[in-house]
Structure 1
Amino acid sequence: MAMAPTVKLVLGSFVFAVFWVLAVFPSVPFLPIGRTAGSLLGAVLMVIFQVISPEQAYSAIDLPILGLLFGTMVVSTYLERADMFKYLGKLLSWKSRGSKDLLCRICLISAISSALFTNDTSCVVLTEFVLKIARQKNLPPHPFLLALASSANIGSAATPIGNPQNLVIAVQSKISFWDFLLGILPATLAGICVNALILLGMYWKLLSDHKDEEEACPEAVAEEEVVSHQFSPATLPHLNSFDSEEMNLRNRTARVSGESETNRPSNASRETVNEASERGDRINSASSRSVSSVELSSGDCHGVYTTKWSRKLWKCCVYLVTIGMLIALLMGLNMSWTAVTAALALVVLDFQDARPSLEKVSYSLLIFFCGMFITVEGFNKTGIPTALWDLMEPLAKIDSVSGTVVLAVVILVLSNVASNVPTVLLLGGRVAASAGAEDVKRAWLIVAWVSTVAGNLSLLGSAANLIVCEQAGRAPHLLGYTLTFWKHLMFGLPSTLLVTSLGLLLIR
C-alpha cells in the first residue's frame, strides 16, 4: 500500500493521536469530554479532513461485532436480574477455609464468569462481593482485588464473547466458537493457575498475618450492602406517582381516625343505656374483622406463594435461554444473530416493558466502537500502520520462536499504549495474512491471547482494572481505598510476562 499524500498523512495521524489521548486519558484538562465523545470526535474529523469518505466511514462500522456486543450485554442484564451473579458471590464465601482458599476461589470464579459474561461485567458485579468478604474476614482487600481483575482478563481470553477484542477477532477471522475455545483453553487454565500462584507467593505473609474474623450479623451485611450491578437507574415516573398516592391515602386515613376519636360520645348515661347494644355491636364487628383478616391473610399468602414460584420459573427460563445460546455458539451458528436472538427471547419471556432492562445496556460503549472503527480505518488509510508492519514482519514470523517472541512484544506494548481493541484492529489482519495457510488460526489466537493478557501489565492496561479500582475507591466501608498504579505494576509485570510466555507454548 502506497503512502497517502502528505496532507492526508499528517491530518490522519493528528486525528488518531487525538483519539488515542482521549481514549487512554478521558479527562485530559484541555478537552475533558470522555472516551465516547473522543471516539466520535475522531470519526467526524477523519471525514471532515477527507482522510476517508462518508461512504467509507459507514462501511468501516462492523455491524456483526456491534450486534454480538449488544446481545451479550442484554443477556448479562437479565442474568443479573435472575441473581446469577449473586449466586457467584455466595460461592466466594461458601465453606471458605481461610484467606488463601478465598484468593484461589476469586481467581477461579472471576475467570469462569468472565469467559461467559465478559470481563467488564464480571468485575462490575463481583467487586462489591469481594470487598464485603474482605471486610467481614478482616483481610486486606488489595490481593483479592488484584486476583479479581487479573483473573477476569485471563479468563476472558478463553471465549470469543469474553472481551471486546475477542469479539473483533472472532468476527474477522471466522473462527468458530468451539475452535476458539479449544485453541486457547489450555493456555487459559495454565495462566489462571500461574497467576494464582504468583499472588499467593507475593502476599503469603500478608494473608497469613490476618486471622479470619467474622463480624456481627454477616448475613445482614451480605443482603443489605452488596449492590450487584452498578447500572444507571431506569426512569420510572409511574412509581413516583404511586408512592405519592399511597402517602396521601395514609394521611387521609389518619385524619379520619383522628376525627372519629374526637367525636366519640362522652355522656355517661347514654353509654349506660346503650351499653348492651354497643357491646354486641363490638363483638360482631370484632368477629367480622377477624374473619376478614383471616381471609386477607390467606389471600396474601397465596399471592406471595404464586409470585415466588413465578419468579423461580422465570429465572429457570433465563438460565435455559443462556445455556441454549452457548450451545448454539458451540454448534457454530452465527454469533451475532445468536446473541441477539437470545436477548430478544429473554425480553419476550419477561412479559413486561423492556425499557428498564434495555436502559442498562452500555450504549456509550457501542457508540465508542462505532467511532473507533471509523478512526482506525482512517488511520489505516494513511499507510502508516502498513509501513510499520512491513518493517516488523520479517522479524515477527510465528513459524519460529524468536518471531513469536517479537510479535508478542509488539502486541504487548501496543496493547498498553494504544489499547487492545485498536491494536487488534490495526494488527490482527496483517498478522494473519503474514502467517502460512496452516498457521492462520494460530496467528489469530496468539493475537487474542497476548492482547488480552497484556491488560494485566498496568492499571491502565484494561477497562476491567479501572472498573475494580473505581469500585474500590467508591466503597464507603473502605473509606476510599485506592488500588495504586505502582502496586498493580509490581504484581502485573511478572504475572503478565510469565502468563503470556506460558500461553504461547500451549496455544495450538
Structure 2
Amino acid sequence: MALTLLIFLLVYVAMGFGKLPGFKVDRTGAAVVGALAMMVAGSISSKAAWDSIDYASVGMLFGLMVVSSAFVVSGFYGWTAARVALLPVSAPALLAVLVGVGGGLSALLTNDVVVVAMTPLLVSLTLARGLNPVPFLLAFCFAANTGSAGTLIGSPQNMIAAQQLGLSFNGFLSIAGLPALASLPLVWGIVALIYRGRWTLPQGAGVPSADPAPAPVKLDRVETAKAGLVTVFVVAAFIFSDWPRELIALGAAGVLLINRQIASRDLLAHIDGDLLLLIMGLFVVNAAMAATGLPQELLSGMRAMGLNLDDPLSLYLVGGALSNIVGNNPAVMLLIPFLTPGADAEALGAALALGTGFSSNLIVFGSLAGIIVVEQAAACGVRISFGEFARAGVPVTLACMAMAAGWILLIAA
C-alpha cells in the first residue's frame, strides 16, 4: 500500500508542477510511467489496468478531436481569426467579438484545439493593427475556458464527466449552458476595464513594436462545409438519438478521415495524443489507488466533517480548487469515482464542468488553454508573465465562480 501511495503522489505532483521535479518527465510521461509502475509493483493487475480505462470516454474524445482538426486543416480557424481581427471596429468592440467567437467555438469544438489553431494568428493580426495583443489573447483564452463549460463536448473534462455519470446532452446543456453564456460578458467587461487606455502597443514592455501583416488565410470552403455538416450531425445525434456517443464521434471521425483532398495524416497530426495517453494513464493510476481503500476512507472522513461531494455546491468548490492544483482533467478523474449521482447526475456534472472550467482562468497553469496561449504568444515574441495573466485571471475567475455558485444554489433549491 505504501508503494502504491508513493507512486500516486509522485504522479499528481507531476500533474501539479507540470513535470516531475528533477526529471524531464512531463504530465503525460508521469501518467504513463505511473500506470506502468502500478502494474510492476503489483498494485493492479494488467487485466484490471486495461479494464480500468474508460474506452468510451477516450473514443468520444478522439473522435471529436478529429472533427475539430478538420476545421484546422480546412483553414476555418485561421480564416475566422483573420476576419474577426481585421474588423473595422474599436478595440473594446473587437474584444467583445473575440470573446463571443472564443466561447462559441469552444462550446461546439474542443477548446484546446480552438486555442492552438487561433492564437498565433491573433498575435500577428493584432500586432499588424498596432494593438497590444495581450488583452485580446487573455480574453480569448478566458472565454474559451468558460464557454466550453456549457456543453458536454466543449472540453475533455466535460466528456469524461458526461460518460462516467451517464449525462444527456440536453440535460447537461439545460443546467450548464446559461451560466457559461453569462460568463462571456463578465470576461469582456473585466478585461476591458483592466486594459482601458492600454489597447495600443506598449513601449519597452517586451512586446514587438511592429509586425508584418500576415499572409491571407486560404479557406477551403468545400472541406469546411463538410466538417460543418458532420458537426451538425454529431450534435443532432447527441440531442435526438440514443446511440452511444463514442460511436457517433468515432463514426464522424471515420467519415472525415476518408477524404480525396486531405490526407488522413494531416488530420491526425492535430490530434492531442499526449492528452489521450495522459487520460488513459490516470485511469490506471486512480484505479490502483482506489483498490487500496484509502480514498474511500478519506471520503468518509470528509463527510463526517460535513463536506459531501454529492452536494453540487460542495463538488463545484472542491472541483474548482483541485483543478488549480493538479489540472482540470486530473481533478475530474479523481472526483468522479466517488460520486453517487442518482437523480442529481446532471447537476453534479454541471457543477464539475463549471467548477473546473471557470476556475481554470485563475493562473496560467490552471488550464491547458492558458499554457498554450502563453507559450505560443512567447514563440511570437509576446510575453505574458504569470503576474500579467493573474491580474486579469483572478477577477475574471472570482466573478464567474460567484455567478455560477449562485446558479447552482438556485437549481439545487
Output the TM-score relative to the length of structure 2: 0.89
1:266 maps to: none
Between Structure 1 and Structure 2, the one with more helix by share is 1
Say whether residues 1:422 and 2:330 are aligned partners.
yes
1:324 maps to: 233
Alpha-carbon distance in structure 2 between the residues aligned to 1:147 and 1:386: 40
1:341 maps to: 251
1:457 maps to: 362
SS in 1 for 2:364: coil
Say whether residues 1:412 and 2:347 are aligned partners.
no
Alpha-carbon distance in structure 2 between the residues aligned to 1:203 and 1:458: 18
Distance 1:348 1:408, change over 3 A: closer
Percent identity of paired positions between Structure 1 and Structure 2: 28
Which amino acid is 1:396 matched to?
A: L
For 1:33-432, list aligned pairs within 5 A.
33-207=25-199, 221-223=213-215, 312-332=221-241, 333-350=243-260, 353-393=263-303, 395-397=306-308, 406-431=314-339
Alpha-carbon distance in structure 2 between the residues aligned to 1:323 and 1:409: 34
Alpha-carbon distance in structure 1 between the residues aligned to 2:307 and 2:80: 41
SS in 2 for 1:32: coil
SS in 1 for 2:199: helix
Q: 1:62-106, CA deviations, whole angstroms, 9 ceiling, x for partnerless residues? A: 101111111111111212222221232134235332110111111
Contact 1:376 1:422 in 2 (8 A): no
1:481 maps to: 382
RMSD: 2.5
Alpha-carbon distance in structure 2 between the residues aligned to 1:168 and 1:329: 15
Q: 1:276-302, CA deviations, whole angstroms, 9 ceiling, x for partnerless residues? A: xxxxxxxxxxxxxxxxxxxxxxxxxxx
Distance 1:502 1:42, change over 3 A: same
Alpha-carbon distance in structure 1 between the residues aligned to 2:17 and 2:308: 33
Which amino acid is 1:481 matched to?
A: V
Q: 1:356-393, CA deviations, whole angstroms, 9 ceiling, x for partnerless residues? A: 32233222222222111101111222333222222323
Say whether residues 1:492 and 2:393 are aligned partners.
yes
Say whether residues 1:467 and 2:368 are aligned partners.
no
Contact 1:325 1:339 in 2 (8 A): yes
- Residue 496 of structure 1, CA deviation: 1.2
Contact 1:414 1:423 in 2 (8 A): yes
Distance 1:68 1:143, change over 3 A: same
Alpha-carbon distance in structure 2 between the residues aligned to 1:471 and 1:147: 15
SS in 2 for 1:470: helix
1:235 maps to: none
Structure 2 unmatched ranges of 5 or more: 203-210
Contact 2:56 2:246 in 1 (8 A): yes
Which amino acid is 1:350 matched to?
A: R
Contact 2:19 2:26 in 1 (8 A): yes
Alpha-carbon distance in structure 1 between the residues aligned to 2:119 and 2:268: 23
SS in 1 for 2:366: coil
Alpha-carbon distance in structure 2 between the residues aligned to 1:184 and 1:383: 33
Which amino acid is 1:183 matched to?
A: I
1:443 aligned residue (336, 348, 355): 348
Distance 1:33 1:407, change over 3 A: closer
Alpha-carbon distance in structure 2 between the residues aligned to 1:325 and 1:67: 14
- Residue 455 of structure 1, CA deviation: 0.9
Structure 1 unmatched ranges of 5 or more: 1-7, 211-217, 229-307
Distance 1:319 1:411, change over 3 A: closer
- Residue 488 of structure 1, CA deviation: 1.5
Q: 1:148-172, CA deviations, whole angstroms, 9 ceiling, x for partnerless residues? A: 1111100110111111110111101
Aligned residues: 400
Q: 1:440-475, CA deviations, whole angstroms, 9 ceiling, x for partnerless residues? A: 321221112101212111111010000000100101
Q: 1:42-69, CA deviations, whole angstroms, 9 ceiling, x for partnerless residues? A: 0011111122222211111110111111
2:206 maps to: none
Q: 1:173-214, CA deviations, whole angstroms, 9 ceiling, x for partnerless residues? A: 11111221121111001111112111112111323898xxxx
Higher mean alpha-carbon deviation, 178-187 vs 85-94, is at 85-94
Which amino acid is 2:258 matched to?
A: V
Distance 1:504 1:429, change over 3 A: farther
Alpha-carbon distance in structure 2 between the residues aligned to 1:65 and 1:198: 35
Contact 2:148 2:155 in 1 (8 A): yes
Contact 2:20 2:30 in 1 (8 A): no
Distance 1:353 1:504, change over 3 A: same
Alpha-carbon distance in structure 1 between the residues aligned to 2:92 and 2:140: 14
Alpha-carbon distance in structure 1 between the residues aligned to 2:327 and 2:265: 32
Distance 1:85 1:25, change over 3 A: same
Larger Rg: 1
Alpha-carbon distance in structure 1 between the residues aligned to 2:269 and 2:214: 26
- Residue 421 of structure 1, CA deviation: 1.7
Distance 1:471 1:53, change over 3 A: same
Q: 1:206-249, CA deviations, whole angstroms, 9 ceiling, x for partnerless residues? A: 23898xxxxxxx9x82326x7x9xxxxxxxxxxxxxxxxxxxxx
Higher mean alpha-carbon deviation, 97-106 vs 319-328, is at 319-328
Alpha-carbon distance in structure 1 between the residues aligned to 2:27 and 2:359: 20
Alpha-carbon distance in structure 2 between the residues aligned to 1:209 and 1:345: 45
Distance 1:75 1:12, change over 3 A: same
- Residue 312 of structure 1, CA deviation: 4.3
